[in-house]
Amino acid sequence: MKNILMIIIALVLFLFITLLYWKFTNGYVKKLYGKKMFNQWGTRMFYWTSTVMICGLLTVSILMLFK
């Protein structure tokens, strides 16, 4: 039961951090690359790959801090 609760907390924390990161960086990245360039799959793949890595690292760091 304790493991399941920890997994749920980690998932919710990851989704919350990802949402915040997306809200703060999406407009900047679209302006930086331009709308046409941002709509190409390569640019979006790079953006979302870095988003998942950064948010995953932040989630693990926060969980380690509270553990």
Q: What is the pLDDT of residues 20-65, one digit of tens each?
A: 999 999 999 999 998 889 889 988 999 999 999 999 999 999 999 9
pLDDT at 35: 85
Place of tokens 């979302």: 48
Work out the pLDDT band at 67, boundaries 50, 70, 90: confident
- Considering the entire predicted model, what is its pTM? 0.85
pLDDT of residue 2: 83
CB 43: neighbour CB atoms within 10 A? 17
Helix ranges (DSSP H) in 1-67: 2-33, 35-38, 41-66
Residues 6+ apart with CB under 8 A from 3: none
